[in-house]
Each structure stands twice: as C-alpha cells, then as structure tokens.
Copies of this chain bind each other. A is one copy, B any other.
C-alpha cells in the first residue's frame, strides 16, 4: 500500500476514525474537518483498501462467476449482462471457466469461497448436484444461470427451451406447413430434450399428425444437419419445413437443400435456434429464435445482488423467453396456396 488512512489522519491532524467517517459519509463530522480531510485525500491520492475493508466488514462487493467456457459464444453476452448489473450496484465480478469438469467446478467454488466473494453465479454441469447441495446447506448466496440442477432449491435464471421450440414450430404451422421435420441437438443434453419436447407439443397441439420418422437426431454440428437433411431429402415424402435445434444444423440443412437443387424458402422453409452471428449474414437470412443472453446475465446478477442486500427474500426461478426473429428462410407453404 502507498498512502493509508493513517497518513491521511496525520496529515489532516485528525484521528483515523474521523477520516473513516468522511470516507463513508457518516454524520457527525463538522463540514470544516470534512473539507480538510477531503482535501488531503485528494492531494495524497489516497484510495481506501478494499481488502482491509473487506476484512472488517466481511463483505467484498465481489461476486463470482463460474461458467463452462467464456469463449463459448453463448456466455460473453451473459457475462456482459452480469458485469453491467454488478457495476451498477457497485460490485465487481471475478470469473472462472470449468469446461463442465466436475473437479474444476468444485475447485472454482472453493476458490470463490476463499476469495470471499459475497455470492456466486454459476452454470454447473447438470450432474454436479453435490457441490450445489453443499452451497445450499451453507446458505451461501447462489444463483444458477442457464442450467438448473434438478431438485435444487437455489434460485435460477434459465431460458425456456420448451416454449422456444414450441414457438418456432408454431411459426411454421401458422405458415401453413404440415410436413415439418425436426433436427434435434445432442439428446444427451437437457436443452436438446426440451427443444424436442416443445416441437412435439406444437405438432400434437395442431391438426398435423406426429411422425416419429420426422424426428432426426443430430448433434448440434453443421455436418449433422447437412447429412441428416441430405439423406432425408433424397426420397419422398419430402417435408416443406425444417426446425433445426440450432443454427449450425440449420446452416448444414441449407447446404443439403442447395446440393439437391432446392430453393430456400421457395421449396423448403427452415428455422433455426440461437441467432448466432451467421444467421443474419447468410443468404437467405435465417429465421431463428434469439436467446435473451444479456438479459439472462443481468437478471441473474440482479437476483443475486438483491439477495445480498436483503432487498428480496423470495428467491425465485426466472424463466426467460426467446423471441422469434423472422428473416428470409421461412414463408407460407406453397402446397396450400
């Protein structure tokens, strides 16, 4: 440390208590001394030590962010939402990547505790219940983001993948499509399962009869979208619309359609999910579901900080709704015209 509260006290001829008082805008300081102390603080360029303050207050004004991977395109915006909210409330954020590794998650939590963050925002692998349970028992302030560990009491902010897929499919149905295939994501993930669920729900809620063979299991990769579509389109009956569980597979489907001489959206409509950069750049623009990533981060930080400041007792789950963005890859089904 350079200059400390002691230096300020000595230089301004008062006690450190008084300095502390003006630092924290406490009452009972004459305006004269307040002025003097402030002047000295400015002159000496004094900055209170957050560490010392943290020790006595048992509060660091820091929150921990534990995510799988900041370089996964989903998280940067989430992180931005978190940091914006945190800054607004005078907190800072310390982050850590886990790559969904159990041990890394455990270590990250340990680290955050030793750094004495006031609370944690985390996205744990679904199976890592133990760590979350411990946090719960310790009454440590936590908000789960994006993924909610099943049966956990801790509040969460997630995205409604069921409804999102439902809406995407419903959009196709509204356009008059009746021959709709769904390319799923990796069904080992909850997200893919939920999107499939939403798709089924939309189909079953319509006049359309559900066909098992029009559920194609992909793995979120462009290649899987391409290959699945290619083999599907080779022979009739041909669908008039596709709902892919993510944009990458939708792009793969574009490629297959082109290779087979099909025009988008004239011959086939395609809707994706996520709204990655590419969706707006590719031609035709991909109709897709955009996830409120920034809002997700912001909301999670808000819930956590509200809890920290005891503004909010009822911890709750927040479920955010993706929005459809219509571009040029979908249009009315021509079979019905």
Which of A's residues lie within 8 Å of B, judged by CB? 1-2, 47-52, 54-55, 58, 60, 62, 69-73, 75-77, 79-80, 83-84, 87, 92-97, 110-111, 113-116, 138, 222, 248, 251, 255, 276-278, 281-283, 294
Judge whether B80 and A97 touch: CB under 8 Å.
yes
Judge whether A116 and B251 touch: CB under 8 Å.
no
In the complex with contacts A96-B92, A251-B281, A277-B277, A70-B83 CB distance below 8 A: yes
Which residues in B have their C-beta under 8 angstroms from that of A116? 1, 49-51
Which residues in B have their C-beta under 8 angstroms from that of A62? 94, 115
A143 to chain B, nearest CB (A): 18
Known A-B contacts: A62-B115, A83-B96. Give 16 more (CB < 8 A): A1-B116, A50-B115, A51-B51, A51-B55, A51-B116, A55-B55, A62-B94, A70-B70, A70-B76, A71-B80, A73-B277, A79-B95, A87-B96, A248-B281, A278-B278, A281-B282
Judge whether A110 and B52 touch: CB under 8 Å.
no
A52 to chain B, nearest CB (A): 6
Q: CA A75 – CA B77 in complex, angstroms?
A: 11
- The 6 nearest A-B residue pairs measured at CB: A71-B80, A71-B76, A51-B54, A94-B94, A76-B76, A71-B77
A66 to chain B, nearest CB (A): 11
In the complex with contacts A71-B80, A92-B96, A115-B92, A47-B277 CB distance below 8 A: no
- A sample of 13 cross-chain residue pairs with beta-carbon separation below 8 angstroms, ordered by A number, consists of A50-B115, A50-B116, A51-B51, A51-B116, A70-B70, A73-B73, A75-B76, A83-B95, A87-B96, A92-B115, A94-B95, A255-B283, A277-B278
Judge whether B97 and A83 touch: CB under 8 Å.
yes
In the complex with contacts A92-B96, A222-B281, A49-B80 CB distance below 8 A: no
Judge whether B96 and A94 touch: CB under 8 Å.
no
Q: CA A245 – CA B51 in complex, angstroms?
A: 45
A109 to chain B, nearest CB (A): 11
A118 to chain B, nearest CB (A): 11
A329 to chain B, nearest CB (A): 15
A104 to chain B, nearest CB (A): 9
Judge whether A93 and B95 touch: CB under 8 Å.
yes
Which residues in B have their C-beta under 8 angstroms from that of A54? 51
A259 to chain B, nearest CB (A): 10
Which residues in B have their C-beta under 8 angstroms from that of A111? 92
Contacting residue for A114 out of B49, B248, B276, CB 8 A: B49
Closest to A107 in B: B87
Which residues in B have their C-beta under 8 angstroms from that of A47? 110, 113-114
Could you say which of A48, A51, A71, A251 has the most chain B C-beta atoms within 10 Å of its C-beta? A51
